[in-house]
Chain A
């Protein structure tokens, strides 16, 4: 008898909770109700813990590296000497690139380049626990002047967009996220295209682009930046370079893959651009 009531009880609880969850999904999914307030409240509890764990984790990794290195010091010295030679050479190439960049910026009037915007530095403190999305949390929030839709960059390239803000944290959706798309263009001729994240390409560290409608020759290695017509992304932020390009079967548009300028696997420090793109 007791067992039976238990079962009925459980079923009742299940049904009630199912209805509540379904309502929550519909309401938040359609933006009728925002989850932000609850998220903000929970942020006060969870974010400090994440920060703490992150600090400990980084500390441990550093310590591990330190002792590991002590044994390999001799090897390292040799390696480093070789590296110095390499770096000197690379430096030369880079300064040439710098010149080229300067020239290109002037040429394509990217003079209001993103290096001039006011930025806030932030650290990544946690990443999406699931495997379906690529978003992460940074340790700066509205108190540091961060707002929704601000652009996030790192290592000189576009990382993503702020999608949610608490007082001391903000959520960033990466451009490699499967649900994300960015309006972009080639740097040399402003041919527009759409850059989308792709869970499958992610394994190789790539993102996809499509709908490039052009008669110009676009080759591999061409640089892709955010376009002027994007509604949320500031123009002229480097996304990456073309890895592969092919013509669609309609002979009008082209699709392909891009190597992002940012290494998303090792992302730790990011810069949030405080200027918002104003849309009319």
Chain B
């Protein structure tokens, strides 16, 4: 329960940061994709189910406000969470390179899928330009942010896990 509430707070915080604070200081007209970092981080640390749910909720929060197709971001983020969560068992906690690589791959995939989806509805084919002006800058920025943000998520997750373990190991206490 505590974990769920904290996850919701984290999602909201990332969303708000993305559309208010960071919106004021975009670099090269793009903002980092904080919710994607959150999804990848928790999928890696907690596995498929957590990744899936975190991704879905993050995506839907984004959809709720700004997307023209409700559920699109939710769907993409959910799959990212699911696939990244599959790597859960190969993952070594302290290593930052793995999450960075995965964030890069996920952000790229997200960009491509979004581009393809736009093609379906509006005929603009200029892939090179989109790649140069949106997908790649967003990717670089997001990966840079991952360096810091991932450690924060890591600490939060460890604190939560420790607490859960303590509660499990002391069954004689009234819960």
User: A residues bordering B, Cβ < 8 Å?
Assistant: 6-7, 9-10, 13-14, 17-18, 20-25, 28-29, 35, 38-39, 42, 46, 49-50, 53-54, 57, 61, 125-133, 135, 137, 171, 178-179, 199-200, 202-203
Contact = CB atoms under 8 A, between A and B. Distances in A.
Nearest to A202: B29
A199 B129 contact: yes
A135 B133 contact: no
Given A21-B75, A131-B30, A39 B65 contact: yes
Interface in B100-127: 114, 118, 121-122, 124, 126
Contact of B82 (A10, A35, A125, A202): A10
Nearest to B20: A53
B78 interface: yes
Contact of A199 (B21, B67, B130): B130
Mostly, the A contact residues are helix
A50 B16 contact: yes
Contacts of B72: 21, 25
Given A14-B52, A125-B20, A126-B19, A133 B66 contact: yes
A39 B15 contact: no
B121 A29 contact: yes
Given A21-B78, A46-B12, 15 more contacts: A6-B49, A7-B48, A25-B72, A35-B64, A38-B64, A57-B20, A127-B20, A129-B31, A131-B138, A179-B122, A199-B129, A200-B126, A200-B130, A202-B133, A203-B133
A28 to B, nearest CB: 4
Contacts of B71: 20-25, 28
Given A24-B71, A128-B19, A131-B30, A42 B64 contact: yes
B66 A53 contact: no
Contacts of A131: 29-31, 134, 138
Given A13-B49, A28-B69, A53 B129 contact: no
Contacts of B62: 129-130
Contact of B70 (A9, A18, A35, A178): A35
B157 interface: no
16 contacts: A7-B48, A13-B49, A14-B79, A20-B71, A21-B78, A22-B75, A24-B71, A25-B69, A50-B19, A57-B24, A126-B16, A126-B23, A127-B23, A131-B30, A132-B114, A200-B129
